[in-house]
């Protein structure tokens, strides 16, 4: 079962993903894509760590997401990726369009073949004002295209707003 959980900042998407992972009854591996490069991000990472059960595995991978998913996915196992937009930002900051395309294509190619349960978390960035800067517009465009392609490959897609799940695709929670 592949799940995509979208939402804005502080919408409850990560908490929902963690609840789904716990409710699965499967061993969980949390795949973190963030890079705590400043105090604020370090604080966010710390809050996520405190919330997670101690028996969950943890892999921190900011770039090679598809490779980790192919290695870690297995029947009877749940992988929770938080989050795709941070992963996309990490790739954008490399300023290497070929690497970005390769990593994106590798992710999309492997999604439908992965065994087990997969929960992908991502920030919905397309609901606001069109950004003024070129890099920000590119990021929003890339995130939107990525979300469309990932949603196409998932059985369940959820938009989380104010801590409430809105089912976009698949069975209700």
DSSP labels for 78-96?
EEEEE-HHHHHHHHHHTT-
The SS3 of residue 55 is: coil
| Catalytic, out of 15, 44, 48, 70 | 48
Query: Do 83 and 124 touch, CB atoms closer than 8 A?
Result: no
Distances, alpha carbon 140 to alpha carbons 41, 52, 69, 114, 137, in Å: 20, 29, 24, 27, 5
Is 48 a catalytic site residue? yes
Give the active site residues: 48
């Amino acid at each position: 079962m592949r799940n995509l959980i979208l939402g804005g900042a502080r919408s409850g998407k990560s908490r929902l993903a963690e609840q789904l992972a716990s409710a699965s009854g499967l061993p969980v591996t949390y795949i973190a894509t963030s890079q705590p490069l400043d105090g604020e991000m370090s604080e966010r990472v710390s809050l996520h760590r405190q919330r997670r059960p101690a028996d969950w595995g943890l892999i921190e991978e900011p770039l090679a997401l598809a490779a980790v998913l192919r290695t870690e996915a297995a029947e009877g196992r749940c992988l929770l990726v938080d989050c795709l937009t941070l992963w996309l930002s990490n790739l954008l900051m490399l300023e290497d369009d070929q690497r970005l395309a390769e990593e994106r294509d590798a992710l999309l190619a492997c999604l439908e073949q992965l065994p087990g349960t997969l929960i992908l978390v991502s920030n919905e960035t397309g609901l606001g004002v069109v950004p003024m800067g070129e890099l920000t517009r590119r990021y929003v465009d890339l995130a939107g295209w990525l979300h469309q392609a990932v949603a196409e490959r998932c059985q369940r897609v959820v938009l989380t707003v104010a801590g409430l799940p809105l089912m976009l695709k698949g069975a209700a929670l």
